[in-house]
């Protein structure tokens, strides 16, 4: 899927799914992929074509100066993947204010912080593709993930809203969400083995997703092959229905 010459930004791009997405966009022909992350350890061995940039999605000033420098240098951002995300799991009565606020700050407001700066630039340019990484948990709910589920439902609602907002005035800025099931990354290392076995047993394809399988879907949505797809949420979950 062609991404020839595109300028791409992936948040949380230093490791896990975000890093794999950055690699797919780059090998798909992107001119450059900026992998934004607040942890810089993963930047050292990023392949050529991917540039690590220290940006915390909860820091609007960092986002603004990053976007300004890209627009000054490249003139546009063609693809934005809002991937940065965290979990602070617990049954609802055990979720502290800090657990709630920090998950919302990164997963929900982080995407908002990015898009309120990048979206208007894409509108001015007349085209672009934004992909919010949601989760099946945001569509179906999950025990112990009140905060995470709410944030991931929120990024779907924001994608649908932005699909409408950014297609005004003749612009073709597409906005979609991808909802993976459980994916084999560091994020799920805190999930108890019993839960993983339960998920696997309920998944028709009988296993967790690999990051590449999420990245393939993101790459498709980012590319011109998805030119008439906007406002959608695509599950990458092996058929899991909770």
Half-sphere exposure of 37 (CA within 13 A, CB side): 22
Distance CA 126, CA 123 (A): 5
Closer of 123 and 180 to ligand NAD (Cβ): 180
Binds ligand NAD by CB under 6 A, chosen from 10, 16, 103, 220: 16
Closer of 17 and 122 to ligand NAD (Cβ): 17
Pair 7, 70: CB distance under 8 Å? yes
Pair 2, 19: CB distance under 8 Å? no
Distance CA 151, CA 202 (A): 24
3-state SS assignment for residue 123: helix
Binds ligand NAD by CB under 6 A, chosen from 22, 37, 77, 177: 37
Say how many residues touch ligand NAD, by CB under 6 A.
Answer: 29
Nearest Cα to Cα of residue 173 among 62, 46, 76: 76
DSSP letter (8 states) at residue 106: I
Binds ligand NAD by CB under 6 A, chosen from 183, 215, 218, 240: 183
Which residues 78-107 are close enough to bind ligand NAD by CB under 6 A?
83-86, 106
DSSP letter (8 states) at residue 42: G
Does 213 bind ligand NAD (CB under 6 A)? Our answer is no
Shortest Å distance, C-beta 188 to ligand NAD: 5
Does 133 bind ligand NAD (CB under 6 A)? Our answer is yes
Residue 131 phi, psi dihedral angles, 5° rounding: -125, 120
Closer of 145 and 160 to ligand NAD (Cβ): 145
| Residue 148 annotated to the active site | yes
The residue whose two tokens read 């929900």 is 108
Does 175 bind ligand NAD (CB under 6 A)? Our answer is no
Lookup: tokens for 193? 């083995």
Binds ligand NAD by CB under 6 A, chosen from 7, 10, 11, 235: 11
Catalytic residues: 148
* Chain positions contacting ligand NAD, by CB under 6 A: 11-12, 14-18, 36-39, 56-58, 83-86, 106, 110, 133, 135, 180, 182-183, 185-188
């Amino acid at each position: 899927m062609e991404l020839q010459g595109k300028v791409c930004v992936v948040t949380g791009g230093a490791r896990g799914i975000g890093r794999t997405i950055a690699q797919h966009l780059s090998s798909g022909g992107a001119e450059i992929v900026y992998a934004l992350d607040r942890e810089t350890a993963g930047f050292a061995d990023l392949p050529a074509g991917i540039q690590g940039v220290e940006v915390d999605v909860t820091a609007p000033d960092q986002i603004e100066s990053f976007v300004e420098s890209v627009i000054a240098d490249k003139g546009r951002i063609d693809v934005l993947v809002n991937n940065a995300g965290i979990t602070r799991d617990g049954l609802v009565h055990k979720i502290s204010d800090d657990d709630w606020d920090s998950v919302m700050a990164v997963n929900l407001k982080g995407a908002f912080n990015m898009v309120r700066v990048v979206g208007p630039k894409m509108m001015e340019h007349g085209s672009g593709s934004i992909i919010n990484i949601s989760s099946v948990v945001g569509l179906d709910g999950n025990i112990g993930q009140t905060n995470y589920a709410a944030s991931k439902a929120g990024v779907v609602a924001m994608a649908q809203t932005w699909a409408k907002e950014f297609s005004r005035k003749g612009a073709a800025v597409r906005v979609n969400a991808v909802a993976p099931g459980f994916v084999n990354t560091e994020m799920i290392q805190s999930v108890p083995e019993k839960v993983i076995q339960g998920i696997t047993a309920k998944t028709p394809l009988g296993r967790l997703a690999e990051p590449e399988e999420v990245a393939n879907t993101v790459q498709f949505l980012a590319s011109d092959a998805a030119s008439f797809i906007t406002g959608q949420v695509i599950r990458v979950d092996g058929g899991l229905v909770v």
